[in-house]
């Protein structure tokens, strides 16, 4: 460390004066911006109940494609939707001709959006557009007016605009190259809110805070922080996920009260010990509270190798037989010796990881090892498989 400081000091006088001033200014800014200690705020662990977004969805058509639309002979709903749209525009097709349309530049899509809380008519939303047929690409297409409905069947927004697809594709002579996904895109600011959703924020004399995770200790700390800063007796922990808070009746005062409430810091607490296992990918995540009891772990690999060798059998000369090709299979079983690891009592997370790495266990092996440790009662944590 001393040599490093000497080297830095020797290089500093040769730097230009302007550069040295910039370095000093940057150091001062970083020192001022660095927080003294990390504190979790209430807004990061809880949210006001009733203040939520709503999912919107709709069925629409993307037009203007360069021959990459749906094959209408296989997707009859595309031609039916186009026929209905033309009829709304005052164009009526002769009977029986709708099914004969060859619309190579049209694709049927599903449009989805999130209607945020307190959204008012006229506000613009981003929408996602996904092909529901056999369209090859939505690149360069335009979404025509599509009503977006909520779970109650009412129309809350209208979507329309040019579809942005983050990909590219090229094909020539039977060869095809594609980058990213071309069957889904996005229309930035492509939907306009037509109806607002009532939010029960100003109803009653109390508001409820819903914790992101059920934990009695966190609920108690939230109530204690509110009572200590905003007034004794304002907050009550109802259960492990809900904290009830008395709030002002005036809408303006209530908004300011919630804003101050969400900025209140909370004391850092140790979360519940949990091990999360993804059985599909083999990913394993452990938090810092995970410990092991005294136990012994043995791990060994069993490998089975099957090899097949062709064997050619030829008949004797002038026997009028036929050459026959058969397969000879060899099966080899190799079982490696198991390694035994002795874990001391109350081993911490670093000891757990180090021991499992010493076993040479693969992610799939870790799934079985952790489940066995939990079944043996030596894993002091909740085991969750997703």
Residue 19 or 298, more confident: 298
Helix, strand, coil distribution of the chain in percent, nearest 5: 25, 35, 40
| Mean of per-residue pLDDT scores for the chain | 79
Residue 131 or 270, more confident: 131
pLDDT digits (tens, 9 = 90+) for 157-179: 999 999 999 877 766 666 667 77
Residue 307, CA distances (Å) to 301, 311, 313, 325 in order: 19, 13, 19, 16
**Quick one: which of 190, 197, 108, 198 has its CA closest to 155?**
197
> How would residue 60 be classed by pLDDT, with cut points 50, 70 and 90?
very high
Percent of the chain surpassing pLDDT 90: 33
pLDDT digits (tens, 9 = 90+) for 253-288: 999 999 999 999 987 777 778 888 887 777 778 887
pLDDT at 350 over 70: no
pLDDT digits (tens, 9 = 90+) for 201-241: 888 899 999 998 888 988 999 999 999 998 888 999 999 99
The counts of H helices and E strands in the chain are 7, 23
pLDDT at site 321? 72
pTM: 0.66
Instruction: Name the CA radius of gyration of the chain, rounded.
Output: 33
pLDDT at site 25? 44
Q: What is the DSSP string of 148-197?
A: EE-TTS-EEEEEEEEPB---EEEEETTEEEEES-SSEEEEEEEEEE-S--
Find out whether 222 and 45 touch, Cβ atoms under 8 Å.
Answer: yes
């Amino acid at each position: 460390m001393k040599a490093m400081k000497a080297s830095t000091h020797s290089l500093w006088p040769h730097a230009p004066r302007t550069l040295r001033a910039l370095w000093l200014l940057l150091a001062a800014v970083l020192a001022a911006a660095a927080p003294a200690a990390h504190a979790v705020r209430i807004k990061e662990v809880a949210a006001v109940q009733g203040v939520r977004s709503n999912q919107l969805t709709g069925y629409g058509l993307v037009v203007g494609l360069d021959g990459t639309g749906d094959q209408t002979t296989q997707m009859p709903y595309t031609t039916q939707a186009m026929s209905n749209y033309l009829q709304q525009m005052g164009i009526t097709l002769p009977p029986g001709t709708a099914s004969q349309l060859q619309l190579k530049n049209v694709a049927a899509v599903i449009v989805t959006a999130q209607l945020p809380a307190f959204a008012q008519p006229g506000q613009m939303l981003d929408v996602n557009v996904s092909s529901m047929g056999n369209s090859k690409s939505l690149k360069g297409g335009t979404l025509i007016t599509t009503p977006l409905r909520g779970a109650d069947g009412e129309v809350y927004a209208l979507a329309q605009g040019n579809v942005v697809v983050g990909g590219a594709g090229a094909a020539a002579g039977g060869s095809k190259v594609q980058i990213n996904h071309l069957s889904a895109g996005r229309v930035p600011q492509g939907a306009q809110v037509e109806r607002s959703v009532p939010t029960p924020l100003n109803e009653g004399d109390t508001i409820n805070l819903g914790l992101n995770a059920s934990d009695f200790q966190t609920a108690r700390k939230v109530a204690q922080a509110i009572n200590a800063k905003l007034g004794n007796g304002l907050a009550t922990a109802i259960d492990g996920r809900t904290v009830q808070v008395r709030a002002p009746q005036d809408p303006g005062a209530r908004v300011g009260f919630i804003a101050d409430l969400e900025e209140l810091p909370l004391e850092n607490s140790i979360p519940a010990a949990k091990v999360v296992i993804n059985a599909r990918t083999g990913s394993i995540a452990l938090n810092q509270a995970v410990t092991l009891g005294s136990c012994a772990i043995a791990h060994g690999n069993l490998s089975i190798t099957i090899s097949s060798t062709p064997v050619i059998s030829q008949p004797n000369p002038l026997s009028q037989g036929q050459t026959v090709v058969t397969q000879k299979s060899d099966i080899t079983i190799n079982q490696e010796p198991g390694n035994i690891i002795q874990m001391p009592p109350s081993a911490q997370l670093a000891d757990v990881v180090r021991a499992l790495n010493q076993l040479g266990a693969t992610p799939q092996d870790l799934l079985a090892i952790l489940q066995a440790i939990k079944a043996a009662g030596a894993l002091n944590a909740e085991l969750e498989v997703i």
